[in-house]
Amino acid sequence: MKSSSISTLVLILSCSWAASAGDDFLHCLSQQSWISNVVYTPPNSSYNSILQFSIRNLRFDSEYIPKPKVIITPEHESQIPPVVLCARRSGLEIRTRSGGHDFEGLSYVSLQAPFVILDLINLSEITVNVDRKAAWVGAGATVGSLYYRIAEKSPVLGFPAGFCPTVGVGGHFSGGGYGALMRKYGLSADQVIDARIIDIHGRILDRKSMGEDLFWAIRGGGGASFGVIVAWKVRLVDVPETVTVFTVTKTVEQNATQLARQWQYVAPGLDSDLFIGVLLNRVNSTVLFNFFSLFLGGVDRLLPMLQESFPELGVVREDCIEMSWIQSVLYYSGRTAGSSPDQGLVEGLLNRTPETVWNLKMKSDYVKEPAPESMFQGIVRLLREPEGLLSRVYTIPYGGRMAEIQESATPFPHRAGNLYKIAGVAYWQDRDGEDSDKYIRWSRRYYDYMTPYVSKSPREVYLNYRDLDIGVNNFGRQTSYKQASIWGMKYFKNNFDRLVKVKTVIDPTNFFQNEQSIPPCKTRSKMQFPKTVFSYE
């Protein structure tokens, strides 16, 4: 038989198996009374709109990308255990989606196996308790909605999470989650005090019943490797009634590369109330260096601090804007303010739909020693290439609270010793995918260029900036622990082996998996897993 015929036969058999798995899955679920309200299959008129609504990377919105056999949009956590059990029995993978911002589309695409999407968009309830400074947040809620609900209750409470309001908390928290409050309070994951997760047996577990090992793993280790996280309980943090923001933009002709070099020495050592990052972007042929800041206090306290620590930046009172913390969230989101302040907050923070959706490819690094000015000059040259027109490179300062938390406190290990994180993201508008290769090649050139200036052994990467260029074979699937450790050490450093041990105990057959999920050991760990009070088997 010719090789082409063999390939055709394999394709036919795999499609038949996928169709059978989908039918078996639906038959298994058919006994549930709620199925008709929350289950979507390709023939359903709403299937495409449900699938596309939370896709945030157009690279994964084309006819060539594998589609789910079924999409489930549960309205209550009690509807999820049967989905897990039926998927296991039918041979379908589960992809769990909360906001869809994952850079490699892993919450709504599987490159190898037939799969079902468990879309948690309806599990978005947020309950804020001001007296206890805590909140329960559904995994399908967005970062923006959490900010808004906190501000509804108190002007002096906040939460350390991301700049983009449409990011879903399910993935954001489980991968770490950073933002402008990180130097003061650390990551989102550092403020998680409880969670609810559904495991391979359909058990609904809270912190007490899941045990401290699993609770440790899901706060920075990526929740999709261990189960379906349906809710988080988080500790809220104090913010002043007045904060100050500024954005100072410099060009190369205005000594921007020299200022960026100086920024490396200054930003990580500033008072933890002060965050100054740098965003590089191109306008026509000009590359701009945007120094953006959040200060937890008023301008009268900020200006003397900047004059002493970073006078070269030349910040003056006219550059600064005093506002509430929740207004600063909207300011840095890049969203329009609306016809009134209150309407602006509603439209900017509660609207789940991004103003623009792009094709994109992300690369991230950590810098431990100040780089020469020539590094920034090289980035400028890359941004001036044709593929750099819409691309961005930005830096996030460390120090403060980030330098005080131990590497092993959570799976997120990028703590003391880092001056800043630097990330480059290629954006492009092509809808048909014809230009994707050249932009992805640009992203890889950027990554290669950064090699001398960033962390080594391992070269560290942020989990929430997934990169399937690292340690994934041509079939999109890790094949061994050794191969998984290639990316595992970059994301988690020495915490990787502990994550593997937790995985081995709670999911030894590797049901919850994706192209870069935590693998189980072949030899079962001796770790003990506590009994639970819920069971569906």
294-308, 491-505, 514-528, range with the lowest pLDDT: 514-528
Distance CA 395, CA 424 (A): 9
Please report the DSSP string for 4-69 in residue order.
HHHHHHHHHHHHHHHHHHHHHHHHHHTTSTTHHHHEE-TTSTTHHHHHHHT--BGGG-STTS---S
Does residue 524 have a pLDDT over 60? no
Distance CA 348, CA 148 (A): 10
Q: Is 433 left (phi over 0), alpha (psi -120 to 50) or beta?
A: left
Distance CA 221, CA 493 (A): 11
Does residue 143 have a pLDDT over 70? yes
pLDDT tens column, 180-191 = 999 999 999 999
Over range 435-464, report the average pLDDT.
97
* Percent of the chain scoring above 90 in pLDDT: 83
pLDDT score for 9: 31
Residue 337's pLDDT band (cuts 50, 70, 90): low
The pTM assigned to this predicted structure is 0.92
pLDDT score for 112: 80
Distance CA 519, CA 207 (A): 22
pLDDT tens column, 100-120 = 999 999 999 998 889 999 999
pLDDT score for 473: 60
Q: Name the residues annotated as catalytic.
A: 465
Does residue 248 have a pLDDT over 50? yes
pLDDT score for 163: 96
173-177, 345-349, 458-462, 481-485, range with the lowest pLDDT: 345-349
**Which domains are present in the chain?**
3-119 (3.30.43.10), 243-323+354-453 (3.40.462.20)
pLDDT score for 19: 63
pLDDT tens column, 254-273 = 999 999 999 999 999 999 99
Does residue 394 have a pLDDT over 70? yes
Over range 282-304, report the average pLDDT.
97
When computed from its CA atoms, the radius of gyration of the chain, rounded to whole angstroms, is 23
Cβ proximity of 176 and 418 under 8 Å: no
142-146, 280-284, 512-516, 533-537, range with the lowest pLDDT: 533-537
Residue 292 token pair = 């953006």
pLDDT score for 343: 62
pLDDT score for 467: 97
Over range 364-389, report the average pLDDT.
98
pLDDT score for 536: 28
Please give the helix or strand (H or E) that residue 382 lies within, else none. Answer: helix 373-383
Closest CA to 161 of 194, 205, 192, 140: 192
Does residue 3 have a pLDDT over 70? no
* Location of structure tokens 């038949």: 16
Cβ atoms within 10 Å, residue 68: 27
119-128, 140-149, 463-472, 524-533, range with the lowest pLDDT: 524-533
Does residue 421 have a pLDDT over 50? yes
pLDDT score for 1: 40
The DSSP code for 142 is B
Residue 448 token pair = 């290669």
Mean pLDDT of the chain: 91
Does residue 507 have a pLDDT over 60? yes
Does residue 303 have a pLDDT over 90? yes
299-303, 354-358, 431-435, range with the lowest pLDDT: 431-435
The beta-strand segments (E) located in 309-419 are 320-323, 359-367, 392-397
Q: How far apart are the first and last CA of the chain?
A: 46
